[in-house]
Amino acid sequence: MYTIGICDTTFSRVDMASAAVKILKKSLPSSRVVQYTVPGVKDLPVACLRLFDQGCDIVMAFGWVGKMPIDKVCGHEASTSIQQVQLITHKHILEVFVHEDEDKNEKKVKQIAVNRAEKHALNAVALLKGQTGLSLNAGKGIRQGKENVGSIK
Amino acid sequence: MYTIGICDTTFSRVDMASAAVKILKKSLPSSRVVQYTVPGVKDLPVACLRLFDQGCDIVMAFGWVGKMPIDKVCGHEASTSIQQVQLITHKHILEVFVHEDEDKNEKKVKQIAVNRAEKHALNAVALLKGQTGLSLNAGKGIRQGKENVGSIK
Amino acid sequence: MYTIGICDTTFSRVDMASAAVKILKKSLPSSRVVQYTVPGVKDLPVACLRLFDQGCDIVMAFGWVGKMPIDKVCGHEASTSIQQVQLITHKHILEVFVHEDEDKNEKKVKQIAVNRAEKHALNAVALLKGQTGLSLNAGKGIRQGKENVGSIK
Amino acid sequence: MYTIGICDTTFSRVDMASAAVKILKKSLPSSRVVQYTVPGVKDLPVACLRLFDQGCDIVMAFGWVGKMPIDKVCGHEASTSIQQVQLITHKHILEVFVHEDEDKNEKKVKQIAVNRAEKHALNAVALLKGQTGLSLNAGKGIRQGKENVGSIK
Amino acid sequence: MYTIGICDTTFSRVDMASAAVKILKKSLPSSRVVQYTVPGVKDLPVACLRLFDQGCDIVMAFGWVGKMPIDKVCGHEASTSIQQVQLITHKHILEVFVHEDEDKNEKKVKQIAVNRAEKHALNAVALLKGQTGLSLNAGKGIRQGKENVGSIK
């Protein structure tokens, strides 16, 4: 039985966690899911660390990055710190960040967010199962939130 | 009873700490508030760390970022280091930073600063109460210093 | 007998690991190669760390960086964290990153990727043999993925 | 009796340390001042750390940042590392950096440098005395190297 | 007797290490010089760390940064990590980096590289002798690779 941390924000404009949890529950029915909600992306790293303190095997961090230059800087700071949490704990954090300007159409951005959350939930499941669970797809141009682009022939 | 650190600067052009302390005292009347004032944003991280050394459960860091490119770099350096303090202590720091150029009108910038300080004080209270205190608002497009933007429908 | 970690991604559009493993097997036939596949570049650092936890003497990290500005930021975040893994473990990671826009022609990018993987596999072999294994080529303008440029006369 | 570290560079075009030491000697006559001179800003962080190893209670780091883009990057790297030294030691470093292009007039830049050194020497004294020594000026728009701008009314 | 680490790259187009070693041997005839050659700048930090593991008192890191934006990012990543090595070991690393575009004329770039290597070798000697060995030149506008610019009068 795995314990999976789900860390999300009130800043986000899409509830990505719910989309991911559905996949996790279906793929790993006996796993336990623990949620932690913070204001924004920069509050995610320490929350992820605290989730690992509670015994999580892996954490998914759902972040929403706004359109302004300062938002991009905040996203970068959060990502840098999420890297550090992984090196402190020796555990994976799947960073599921969506940038509000990935598409001009809001509904499209929501689709991207949900798709990315779902696909990364499957990645989390694969990583929990072992370090070669994704090896068959190495170099295959897999994408989350968008269509796969495939290998260069 | 919680101990809440309040870390602010002489560089700031608005006394954000007072606005936050009012909210904290009302929401958590039995909590203890400890202040630490430093020259500028880059002096905040170690001051936050020292506040945790004194037993703080959470810290609010009030920073003011000027208009020049070098000011933006300083803000980024401070934020990066505030991230690290959180990972050292496993405790939350609510970073309440205001950029002097968020609005051309000075009075508007002051309003942003006070509003952000007050809303993040409420976030601090929610985080002290537990990791799902904010979960009902996950994905709801909540903002501090500005109007909430809401979820994408 | 050396243990060599091979860390690659499903995001990549070229299977660089296979190209490198061929060289490693030929150069160090008695060495053991351990693979770890992750979704993208930002998942590489902790995977490298976990490979060292398993006893690897050196790790090759194969990353693919997309064309968009956000991709460049991700690459930078991954590189920064790969640096930290090396400082934690005191071991080398050969970072074999390819940027999708290194050439407009996709086939050329694939050639760059394979060439870089192969040449860095030889660098890994040299570094395993000792710290002066590459000293004869110090200052010689050696390149991976492209032609050597040579020393300035 | 305090021990105050003074860390400066041969790259700098102004002797800021002497200006600061005068203030320190006047404000804290019984304090001991220890100097450490390095080539450039990127050599300051480890020198600051070594000053703390020698028992310093606080350190002032005097840096000079040139006009070229690479100089700005060096300044950022030095600042980032000075942040880390503070988090390792739990002690303040007052970063007194001057950018050579803060004014087109060289003499003006020198005035900025000396003024900033002197005002930050007073900040060091205030921080040594306690964490609320500067609290009366919180939010007051205080500047070093330039005129104070004051609070927003 | 000092042990001095010399860390250089095959990517570099100039053999800076030899220029520095000549100065070191002349200035400190009884010192021991240990070399470590790596592929590129991003391989330098862990190599420097390993040189300190071998007992080096100081390390000179010779890096070559190409003309492309990605090269600048690599240089920044290497520098950031070299900072960290110094904070781990409490020892100086003299970072002797040359940017290939410091001059349009290749021969000039080579001159810059050799001059910088030689002058920083003298800085290394001065730092080994003590923390005030360079204090007479504090604020004097000293440069490596170029002419000194002097103090602002």
**Which tens digits make up the pLDDT trace of D61-119?**
999 999 999 999 999 999 999 999 999 999 999 999 999 999 999 999 999 999 999 99
Shortest distance between the Cα of D150 and any Cα of chain E, in A, equals 30
Q: Is the ipTM of this structure higher than 0.95?
A: yes
What rounded mean pLDDT belongs to chain D? 98
CA distances from C19 to B112, C99, C118, E79 (A): 55, 17, 6, 30
Residues of chain D neighbouring E56 (CB-CB closer than 8 A): none
Shortest distance between the Cα of C138 and any Cα of chain A, in A, equals 32
Look at residue D148 and tell me if it is in a domain.
no
DSSP state of D133: T
Q: What is the pLDDT of residue B130?
A: 97
How many CB pairs below 8 Å do chains A and C form together? 107
D83: containing domain? 3-131
- C135 and E37: CB-CB below 8 Å? yes
Residues of chain B neighbouring A10 (CB-CB closer than 8 A): 134, 137-142
Look at residue A152 and tell me if it is in a domain.
no
SS3 A145: coil
Look at residue B42 and tell me if it is in a domain.
yes
| Residues of chain A falling short of pLDDT 50 | none
Closest CA to B42 of D93, D9, C95, E131: D93
The answer to whether residues B84 and A84 touch, using CB atoms and an 8 Å cutoff, is yes
Shortest distance between the Cα of A67 and any Cα of chain C, in A, equals 12
- E37 and C72: CB-CB below 8 Å? no
pLDDT digits (tens, 9 = 90+) for B93-122: 999 999 999 999 999 999 999 999 999 999
B43 → closest Cβ in D76, D92, D152: D92
Two structure tokens written together for A48:
């992820």
Band the pLDDT of D128: cuts 50, 70, 90. Answer: very high
Neighbours of C87 (CB within 10 A): 18
- Give φ, ψ of A76 to 5 degrees: -65, -40
- A50 and B80: CB-CB below 8 Å? no
Look at residue E148 and tell me if it is in a domain.
no
Which neighbouring-strand residues pair with A69? none
Which of E7, E34, E37 should be substituted to probe chain C, the one whose Cβ sees the most C Cβ atoms within 10 Å?
A: E37
Q: Rounded to 5 degrees, what angle do the CA atoms E19, E22, E28 make?
A: 135
**Mean of the pLDDT values across residues E42-47?**
98
Q: What is the pLDDT of residue A145?
A: 97
CA distances from A17 to A24, A80, A136, B9, C43 (A): 10, 21, 27, 37, 20
Report the chain D residue with the minimal C-alpha distance to residue E133: D37
Q: Rounded to 5 degrees, what angle do the CA atoms A141, A97, B120 make?
A: 175
Neighbours of A36 (CB within 10 A): 27
Shortest distance between the Cα of D58 and any Cα of chain E, in A, equals 17
- E37 and C141: CB-CB below 8 Å? no
SS3 E51: helix
Two structure tokens written together for D108:
């003006």
Q: What is the pLDDT of residue A143?
A: 98
Residues of chain B neighbouring A50 (CB-CB closer than 8 A): 90, 131
Q: What is the pLDDT of residue D126?
A: 98
Subunits with at least 3 CB pairs below 8 A relative to chain E? C, D
Neighbours of E133 (CB within 10 A): 15
pLDDT digits (tens, 9 = 90+) for E1-38: 899 999 999 999 999 999 999 999 999 999 999 999 99
E81 → closest Cβ in C83, C99, C143: C83
* Interatomic CA distance for residues E45 and E87, integer angstroms: 12
Q: What is the pLDDT of residue B40?
A: 98
Cα R_g (chain D), whole angstroms: 15
pLDDT digits (tens, 9 = 90+) for E62-84: 999 999 999 999 999 999 999 99
Q: Give the contacts of B60 (CB within 8 A, at least 6 positions apart).
A: B4, B5, B6, B7, B17, B20, B93, B94, B96, B117, B120, B121, B124
Look at residue B13 and tell me if it is in a domain.
yes
CA–chain centroid gap for E56, Å, is 15
The answer to whether residues A137 and C37 touch, using CB atoms and an 8 Å cutoff, is yes
- A81 and B87: CB-CB below 8 Å? yes
Residues of chain C neighbouring E107 (CB-CB closer than 8 A): 152
- Half-sphere exposure of residue E107: CA atoms within 13 angstroms, side-chain side: 1
E142 → closest Cβ in D10, D49, D85: D10
Subunits with at least 3 CB pairs below 8 A relative to chain D? B, E
Which of B134, B144, B147 should be substituted to probe chain A, the one whose Cβ sees the most A Cβ atoms within 10 Å?
A: B134
CATH for B91: 3.40.50.960
Look at residue E146 and tell me if it is in a domain.
no
The answer to whether residues D21 and E105 touch, using CB atoms and an 8 Å cutoff, is no
Q: Residue A53: exposed, middle, or buried by beta-carbon count in 10 A (0-12, 13-18, 19+)?
A: exposed
A49 → closest Cβ in B90, B99, B123: B90
Residues in chain E: 153
Report the chain A residue with the minimal C-alpha distance to residue B92: A46
What rounded mean pLDDT belongs to chain B? 98
Subunits with at least 3 CB pairs below 8 A relative to chain C? A, E
What rounded mean pLDDT belongs to chain A? 98
DSSP H/E element including C22 = helix C16-27
- Per-residue model confidence as pLDDT tens for chain C (153 residues): 899 999 999 999 999 999 999 999 999 999 999 999 999 999 999 999 999 999 999 999 999 999 999 999 999 999 999 999 999 999 999 999 999 999 999 999 999 999 999 999 999 999 999 999 999 999 999 999 999 999 999
- Give φ, ψ of D28 to 5 degrees: -130, 70
- A94 and C39: CB-CB below 8 Å? yes
Look at residue B30 and tell me if it is in a domain.
yes
DSSP H/E element including E81 = helix E69-89
CA distances from D17 to A40, A98, A153, D77, D117 (A): 41, 47, 62, 21, 7
Q: Give the contacts of B61 (CB within 8 A, at least 6 positions apart).
A: B7, B8, B44, B45, B48, B82, B93, B94, B95, B96, B97
Neighbours of C148 (CB within 10 A): 15
Q: What is the pLDDT of residue C36?
A: 98
Look at residue B59 and tell me if it is in a domain.
yes
Q: How many domains does chain A have?
A: 1
